[in-house]
């Protein structure tokens, strides 16, 4: 077949880095992060979290081509006091905390449902 291996969409090659950073030479307080082996899911999630940060002036991403498994995330901060890498790190940390909270809520809801519905299953 002439199709690429499915694993090539998410497994990094030996010479690939997950994230690369390039400072913007034309716009102050800005830079572009390239995320290898990622797609719109991660790009949009990070963009939305970054836009919630008051120190971020601009956040946008692009997925160059459907067969190219990478995204380019551009971040511009409102002051030179905060670097784009700092805001990205904070956004990732916030998303991690939200994910942990969501997992806890789902686990608690499942446990509650099991306790409430356990007696009905015993009578069968």
Extract the residue ranges of the chain whose pLDDT is less than 50. 123-124
What letter does residue 25 receive in the DSSP assignment? S
What Cα–Cα distance (Å) separates residue 115 from each residue in 28, 102, 110, 122? 56, 20, 9, 12
Residue 82: its pLDDT value, please? Answer: 95
CA–CA distances in Å: residue 112 to residues 99, 103, 105, 106, 116: 20, 14, 10, 10, 6
pLDDT score of 10: 84
Contacts of 111 (CB under 8 A, 6+ apart): none
What pLDDT does residue 2 have? 76
- The secondary structure of residue 44, as a DSSP letter, is H
pLDDT at 14: 87
pLDDT at site 124: 47
């Amino acid at each position: 077949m002439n199709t690429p291996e499915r694993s090539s969409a998410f497994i990094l090659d030996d010479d690939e880095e997950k994230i690369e950073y390039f400072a913007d030479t034309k716009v102050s307080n800005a830079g572009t992060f390239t995320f290898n082996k990622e797609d719109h899911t991660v790009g949009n999630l990070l963009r939305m979290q970054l836009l919630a940060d008051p120190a971020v002036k601009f956040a946008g991403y692009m997925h160059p081509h459907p067969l190219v498994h990478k995204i380019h995330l551009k971040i511009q901060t409102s002051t030179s006091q905060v670097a784009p890498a700092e805001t990205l790190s904070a956004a990732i940390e916030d998303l991690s905390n939200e994910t942990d909270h969501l997992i806890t809520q789902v686990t608690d809801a499942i446990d509650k449902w099991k306790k409430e519905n356990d007696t009905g299953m015993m009578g069968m």
